[in-house]
């Protein structure tokens, strides 16, 4: 009987026992912290798998529990699975708590390039103290975009991601935008890695697992 036939004849419990557990590690910019353990029967199947956690899980700081982080496995080596940063998002309840009546929420959605040519799509939000008019909202949105584009152009991908997630740039955005109208808060509400640099140019940040391949083709660029 072939090994394939034997595999199909195994019970669910037997197939589970055949699986091996792997440690999923955060990227080096997040200190290679173990963010999950996951079982799989063949290690190549881990590539492209997405892992969700919170910044609180990495730092132990309860004030960061509303910051959700997304990582994707791009390489397996031994019992470790290595990840890249794929994006982040603030909890909806947190966003809702900042939105109040008789005030304005300004949302800017745009792409930025880092100094090392990674492409991210960002959602930046600002909340005003009182309701402002359309022209003021437009001016604030432009400042949010222009200031963030300038910051990203001077940072590597890792530097920009860490600064964004830990809120290092929000005060600068706040100080610039409040010149138009009084603000209460500025936040990087969401981010997504769109494309990565390769010798052939920018390519979509997509990892497709292939039998026997334990490292994504763009891994050397990530």
Question: What does the pLDDT average to over 116-140?
Answer: 97
Separation of alpha carbons 210 and 219, rounded Å: 14
Q: What percent of the chain has pLDDT over 70?
A: 89
Q: What is the mean pLDDT of the chain?
A: 91
Region 156-170: mean pLDDT is 97
pTM of this prediction?
Answer: 0.88
Q: pLDDT of 63-86, one tens digit each?
A: 999 999 999 999 999 999 999 999
Helices (H), 50-188: 55-59, 92-98, 134-153, 157-165, 170-177
Per-residue DSSP letters for 160-174?
A: HHHHHHTTSSHHHHH
pLDDT 10s digits, 83-105: 999 999 999 999 999 988 889 99
User: What are 25-49's pLDDT values in tens digits?
Assistant: 999 999 999 999 999 989 999 999 9
Q: Which residue has the higher pLDDT, 13 or 72?
A: 72
Cβ neighbours around 220 below 10 Å, total: 10
Contact 33, 58 (CB under 8 A): yes
The CATH architecture of the domain made up of 92-198 is 2-Layer Sandwich (3.30)
pLDDT at 7: 52
- Work out the angle at residue 162's Cα, subtended by the Cα atoms of residues 116 and 217, and round it to the nearest 5 degrees: 45
Domain regions of the chain by residue span: 3-90, 92-198
Q: Exposed, middle or buried: residue 139 (CB in 10 Å: 0-12, 13-18, 19+)?
A: middle
Question: Helices (H) and strands (E) in the chain — how many of each?
Answer: 7, 9
Judge whether residue 1 has pLDDT over 90.
no
d(CA 126, CA 186): 4
Query: Do 56 and 62 touch, CB atoms closer than 8 A?
Result: yes
Q: What would the pLDDT profile of 170-192 be if each residue is shown by its tens digit? A: 999 999 999 999 999 999 999 99
Q: What is the pLDDT of residues 195-214, one digit of tens each?
A: 999 888 899 999 989 998 99
């Amino acid at each position: 009987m072939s090994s394939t036939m034997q595999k199909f004849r195994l019970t669910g419990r037997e197939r589970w026992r055949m699986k091996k557990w792997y440690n999923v590690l955060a990227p080096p910019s997040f200190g290679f912290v173990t963010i999950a353990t996951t079982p799989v029967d063949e290690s190549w199947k881990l590539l492209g798998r997405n892992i969700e956690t919170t910044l609180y899980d990495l730092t132990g700081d309860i004030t960061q529990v509303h910051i959700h982080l997304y990582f994707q496995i791009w390489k397996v080596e031994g019992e470790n699975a290595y990840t890249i940063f794929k994006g982040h998002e603030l909890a909806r309840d947190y966003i809702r708590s900042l939105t109040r009546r008789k005030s304005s929420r300004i949302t800017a959605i745009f792409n930025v390039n880092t100094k090392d040519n990674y492409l991210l799509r960002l959602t930046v939000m600002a909340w005003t103290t009182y309701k402002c008019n359309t022209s003021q909202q437009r001016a604030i949105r432009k400042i949010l975009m222009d200031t963030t584009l300038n910051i990203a152009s001077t940072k590597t991908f890792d530097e920009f991601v860490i600064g964004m997630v830990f809120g290092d740039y929000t005060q600068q955005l706040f100080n610039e935008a409040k010149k138009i109208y009084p603000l209460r808060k500025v936040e990087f509400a969401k981010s997504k890695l769109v494309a990565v640099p390769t010798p052939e140019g920018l390519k979509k940040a997509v990892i497709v697992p292939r039998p026997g391949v334990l490292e994504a083709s763009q891994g050397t660029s990530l």
